[in-house]
Structure 1
Amino acid sequence: MATVILVRHGRTTANASGMLAGRLTGVRLDETGRTQAAATGERLAAVPLRRLVTSPLVRCRQTAREILTRQDGTPAQLTDKALTECDYGDWQGQSLTTLAKEPLWRVVQSQPSAAAFPGGESMAAMQARAVAAVRRHDAAVADEHGPDAVWAVVSHGDIIKAVLADALGLHLDLFQRLHVDPASISIVRYTESRPYVLATNTHAGDLGWLAAAPKRRRGARRRRSDDAVVGGGAGPADEPA
């Protein structure tokens, strides 16, 4: 399997005003969000991405453009509705201050697996579609480019938290323990044995270590071990071939 970089879109006008945007059209990055997205693109410039998948919402497509313009190569570009924002139904477009007074708010906070938004989808359904989409894209990238391939998803906070919870083996009811800021980067490596969460909610730092190792001579095969390193190992450069 491959490695996926999970990018949340930069800050939007709705984020700044405290509104739950959901799937509303026309919600765009504000000035801070554009700066954040550009900084994330700079961090990812050192990583040759094989595929870039984005939610169809404009704030994610804006963020994805900042990443693409800084890539030396031309990763395959796809839009996937399965990675779009949660359907918050009647909550969409309302202020978070108002929503916090709703009885459902406490369910969303303490037992999200039981939360279903009126006129929208359940959080369990959101997680199921997002995880299935990420794993499907990851398998396709690995099949085409090999197990050292790296690709990226630009999506939304709750979507990324749901994918991280699955990778960590956390029940959905614990996913609110995770935090995913605008334009942050989280990283998951999938293997046949298990997913490895390499980073969550990062804002800075060199990502060059994610670049795929050089191809070996013709006929030689490189196999990354799926086993966890007892004691933690010495970092990416120490991974067995």
Structure 2
Amino acid sequence: MATMILARHGRSTANTSGVLAGRQRGIGLDEHGHAQVRAAAERIRGIPLALAVSSPLQRCLQTTSGLLEGHPEAPRVQRDRGLLECDYGEWQGERISSLARRRLWRTVQEQPSAVVFPGGESLAAMQARSVAAVRRHDAEVEAEHGPDAVWLAVTHGDIIKSILADALGMHLDLFQRLHVDPASLSVVTYTPSRPFVLCSNTHEGDLSWLRRPAGRRSRRSDAAVGGGSGPA
């Protein structure tokens, strides 16, 4: 029952230029993206982090570094290709405005489970490997640090949307209903009975309530009927 904070990288130079960066090298954060990450870092500064895992792409590594800068208990950082951006194949490097005119675009919007990017990856395969990666890390964190441990995963928008869809029990064809902004934070707790999505796409607010006080029992695997009393 460890708890995972999912962070999307801050705004990148590709985001502002309207290009689908994909796995291209040399795509870093712009000035506003760095500011977004500094603000997000303040939100998690009061949380002991057992682990930080990042996509190996530059914009995510910059975000991870910024989130952990000055953290009083900064953990070790692992790079995991399971959290790598979707392989968009021939779409990579193209302008979003141009891609939106292609026939496959409608399928991406309406039936993502059927999408295989030309020369690239299917969205179903992207979801399978990213969910497997975070569930593996979550189990390892709990085994090593206990059920109250909190850890950080820094990755990309479509990856986070697919992980949240899985945690919510949503079919992949519904994952476009989710929205994940640059430098936003989402929180998921996996339990023996089900995942709990504690928040998604948040931009403000101290998350130190994720740190459970000594002597307080860990979150239950059962849902709180009526909604419960919330964090202390």
- Pair 1:25-2:14 in alignment: no
The code of the aligned residue for 2:205 comes to: G
Q: Which residue of 1 aligns with 2:190?
A: 190
Per-residue deviation, 1:12: 0.5
Aligned mates of 1:223, 1:158 — CA distance in 2: 30
Contact residue 42 and residue 70 of structure 1 kept, 8 A? no
Are 1:38 and 2:38 counterparts? yes
Aligned counterparts of 2:98 and 2:74: Cα–Cα separation in 1 = 44
Q: Distance in 2 between matches of 1:115 and 1:201?
A: 24
Q: Which residue of 2 aligns with 1:231?
A: 226
Aligned to 2:105: 105
In the aligned structure 2, how far is the partner of 1:205 from the partner of 1:190?
22
Whichever residue aligns with residue 76 of structure 1, its letter is R
Aligned counterpart, 2:53:
53
- The offset of 1:222, in angstroms, is 4.6
Q: Which runs of 5+ in 2 are unaligned?
A: none
Structure 1 segments unaligned to the other structure (5+ residues)? none
Specify the alignment match of 2:93 in structure 1: 93
User: Which runs of 4 or more aligned residues in structure 1 lie more than 3 Å from their structure 2 counterparts after TM superposition?
Assistant: 221-224
**Aligned CA-pair RMSD:** 1.1
Displacement of 1:48 in angstroms is 1.0
Q: How does the TM-score come out when normalised to structure 1?
A: 0.94
TM-score under structure 2 normalisation?
A: 0.98
CA deviations on 1:24-50 (whole Å, 9 max, x unpaired) are 000000001000011111111011111
Give me the whole-angstrom Cα distance separating, in 1, the residues matched to 2:96 and 2:134.
Answer: 28
Contact 1:22–1:88 at 8 Å: present in 2 too?
yes
Q: Which amino acid aligns with 2:183?
A: A
- 2:72 aligns with 72
Aligned residue for 2:188, secondary structure, equals strand
Q: Which residue of 2 aligns with 1:213?
A: 213
Name the SS of the counterpart of 1:59 in structure 2: helix
Identity %: 63
C-alpha displacement of 1:67: 1.2
The letter of the residue matching 1:179 is H
